[in-house]
Structure 1
């Protein structure tokens, strides 16, 4: 029975893959699918259609782009997550069995440093006007991703030490111009997700419950799946345009391996089958249903100089209320996350200074799917944030332009009191000071 409890405790490690996978827009979604939208905080994203990146935000917008168009760029993102300990405690039990009289629960460790680091999000798009009614397009981007990395041995090491997730999405699309004012678009998406997650596991003597030291488990997993997206573009008046787009849920079935290594346990104790048998690879598989999204946007040409933009978007994060894992050699387990659907509201403006220069600005409110301190994971210490953005576009000629944009994200002060697994991971308690800086460049050309 004690061996089973040990394995069950260790199996919770693998759930870090899910915790991180449901761990940026808010949650772990990457809104930064172009750099041309950064300057206006992505306001009007489903209606602006100013370059080929409309393939991602609203494929119907391709009908605004004559001939052939290419657009490519990269966005650099630097989140900052600084934890201040407010009473974090280590695991209280050995696999569900209370600690014995000869050993207490592990304590100590620092605040983990800044868990955020720079990451790059590339993108590339192509559109082609086949005839006056039909357009084809292709987009390549990374719609989900995040990385948090704490200093080894920090106070919350049993919740997370490092998590990274990378994605790639390939999105062929088609658009139809039904009338002079109404267009429709449709796309299919193939998405691949890669995750790498590491955390510590407290190890105790199977007989006495004494704390012996830490193991480390590293989970690497990969999966892919198909989804779809669609959009409508309506030129309501010569000066006002509306866009509505939707991206479907994508269910990823991921396969991976958990590799367990000894970090600080005396090797003499590993002769016990309850402990020594834990080291080595364990097969793992899980499923996560990535959320669907919807965007309603408006673009209004106020005069020859000013363009006003706005949108409201929704993300269905409630598609991930919990995560379940199936293991080989380790009992199945689940993690309660209680994510909620989230909203985003953005307003922006473009000012055409000259035929060559256009300046951009925008603000946005971005709601987090994490609403409860008791379920806020260390791999995603997320909270509501506010965007303030600036950008500029320079036209070399009527066919070629480059955009640059910068945004600073002010994140609401974040408290955490994660009690979801006090026996196996302990209680993570404290506060986070978080923010993010985003900078990007986009090159676009019309043939």
Structure 2
């Protein structure tokens, strides 16, 4: 029984939900608008990510390059009655870089194709020197995607699109005394999109992204014997980690020459993440119903005071994927999240533009109930910075 308990505690801390987050923040439009209207805007080549059907609205050839920076302020504080022999780790996120590249090409009056490279899933945590360093010092789960896509303009009202995501996932866990567990895996998923142009000033977009399943097998093992006088075990670990399927519906409405309004409603199947298959030393562990499906809503506005300038702002809400904020994962600080974004785009010349954006995400307090390292993340926050360059050829 003691051995079984140790397995569950260990894997619950380190791998069951190893720092995974879905991010909407790919391009500067998405950051500045807090994602509002993402499946309906189709304003640059990054629409391949938000809705591949939107490529039918783009010029003959378009390239969009982006660089993003995420700063996380998520200090973890151990409860006084849970301290063992060290300190709380403090802020465990810090800076996390990102980038993207998208290219779209019109093939005919009805067909377009494109390819994109981006990363929108994962997070890295660094706990440093602290009480729980024998269980975890660093945790990284990173997903990168190469996606070719095609779009078909069926008529003046309806366009359809599809993309094939070739996803490369990396899992790394570092512990005290130089111990590192790591593996990587390729996985395939699909993205389907539709775009309806109901009127010259109004369009609606719908996208579906399928689940992505990574299978990680940690080959290097070592014995852990310093936690609460536990006996030593050699722990080969295998895990099937599912990134959830999701639906997004978006509205874009051009009020006049200067103003446009947009919004989103979305769903993510996070409850399926609870069923990730975890095996430690040949024993199936980690099954739980800790997670639930989430809902997303966003509203945004664009203002164009001059043909060369476009300004964006938006607000979004994402519900927590935890059923109980007092029973969350150490490696996944999350909860109900509010996002506020602001940004702008400047037309450098008739063929190229430059965009800048900032977004602040305020996250609900999350408490970790692990019997070994009980503590809490008090109102963690994420700060997104983005710059994009687009060019028409």
> Please, what TM-score do these two structures have when normalized by structure 1?
0.81
Taking the aligned partners of 1:42 and 1:319, their CA distance within structure 2 comes to: 24
> Which of residues 251, 260, 264 is equivalent to 1:307?
260
Q: Residue 19 of structure 1 aligns to a residue in which SS?
A: coil
The answer to whether the aligner puts 1:388 opposite 2:354 as a matched pair is no
The answer to whether the aligner puts 1:418 opposite 2:380 as a matched pair is no
> Does structure 1 retain, via aligned residues, the 8 Å contact 2:29–2:312?
no
The answer to whether the aligner puts 1:321 opposite 2:314 as a matched pair is no
Higher Rg of the two aligned structures: 1
Give the 5 Å matches for 1:237-386.
237-260=199-222, 275=232, 278=233, 283-328=236-281, 331-336=283-288, 338-386=290-338
Once the 2 structures are TM-superposed, how far is the Cα of residue 324 of structure 1 from its aligned partner? 3.3
> Does structure 2 retain, via aligned residues, the 8 Å contact 1:46–1:58?
yes
Taking the aligned partners of 1:109 and 1:290, their CA distance within structure 2 comes to: 34
The answer to whether the aligner puts 1:189 opposite 2:189 as a matched pair is no
The answer to whether the aligner puts 1:178 opposite 2:154 as a matched pair is yes
> Does structure 2 retain, via aligned residues, the 8 Å contact 1:166–1:195?
yes
The answer to whether the aligner puts 1:428 opposite 2:374 as a matched pair is yes
Structure of greater relative contact order (alpha carbons < 8 Å, 6+ residues apart)? 1
Once the 2 structures are TM-superposed, how far is the Cα of residue 120 of structure 1 from its aligned partner? 1.0
Taking the aligned partners of 1:36 and 1:374, their CA distance within structure 2 comes to: 35
How many residues align structurally? 392
Structure 2 counterpart of 1:205: none
After superposition, the C-alpha distances for 1:197-248 in whole angstroms (9 at most, x for unaligned) are 2357xxxxxxxxxxxxxx8853212222111111110111111111011101
The answer to whether the aligner puts 1:31 opposite 2:24 as a matched pair is yes
The answer to whether the aligner puts 1:9 opposite 2:15 as a matched pair is no
After superposition, the C-alpha distances for 1:329-366 in whole angstroms (9 at most, x for unaligned) are x6443253521111111111111121211111111112
Q: Residue 384 of structure 2 aligns to a residue in which SS?
A: strand
The answer to whether the aligner puts 1:231 opposite 2:184 as a matched pair is no
Taking the aligned partners of 2:271 and 2:134, their CA distance within structure 1 comes to: 26
Structure 2 counterpart of 1:70: 63
Taking the aligned partners of 2:321 and 2:7, their CA distance within structure 1 comes to: 27
Q: Residue 38 of structure 1 aligns to a residue in which SS?
A: helix
Once the 2 structures are TM-superposed, how far is the Cα of residue 184 of structure 1 from its aligned partner? 0.4
Once the 2 structures are TM-superposed, how far is the Cα of residue 283 of structure 1 from its aligned partner? 3.8
> Does structure 2 retain, via aligned residues, the 8 Å contact 1:12–1:333?
no
The answer to whether the aligner puts 1:147 opposite 2:114 as a matched pair is no
Taking the aligned partners of 2:373 and 2:142, their CA distance within structure 1 comes to: 28
Structure 2 unaligned spans of 5+ = none
Structure 1 unaligned spans of 5+ = 91-106, 201-214
> Does structure 2 retain, via aligned residues, the 8 Å contact 1:336–1:375?
no
Once the 2 structures are TM-superposed, how far is the Cα of residue 8 of structure 1 from its aligned partner? 6.9
Moved more, 28-37 or 388-397: 28-37
The answer to whether the aligner puts 1:445 opposite 2:391 as a matched pair is yes
> Does structure 2 retain, via aligned residues, the 8 Å contact 1:222–1:256?
no
Taking the aligned partners of 1:290 and 1:365, their CA distance within structure 2 comes to: 20
Q: Residue 353 of structure 1 aligns to a residue in which SS?
A: strand
Once the 2 structures are TM-superposed, how far is the Cα of residue 36 of structure 1 from its aligned partner? 2.7
Taking the aligned partners of 1:147 and 1:184, their CA distance within structure 2 comes to: 35
Once the 2 structures are TM-superposed, how far is the Cα of residue 89 of structure 1 from its aligned partner? 2.5
Q: Residue 13 of structure 1 aligns to a residue in which SS?
A: helix
Q: Once superposed, what is the RMSD of the aligned Cα atoms?
A: 2.6
Once the 2 structures are TM-superposed, how far is the Cα of residue 304 of structure 1 from its aligned partner? 0.6
Taking the aligned partners of 1:357 and 1:140, their CA distance within structure 2 comes to: 27
Q: 1:153 to 1:58 in 2, by over 3 A?
A: same
Structure 1 counterpart of 2:353: 401
> Does structure 2 retain, via aligned residues, the 8 Å contact 1:216–1:260?
no
> Which of residues 176, 183, 193 is equivalent to 1:221?
183
Taking the aligned partners of 2:278 and 2:178, their CA distance within structure 1 comes to: 18
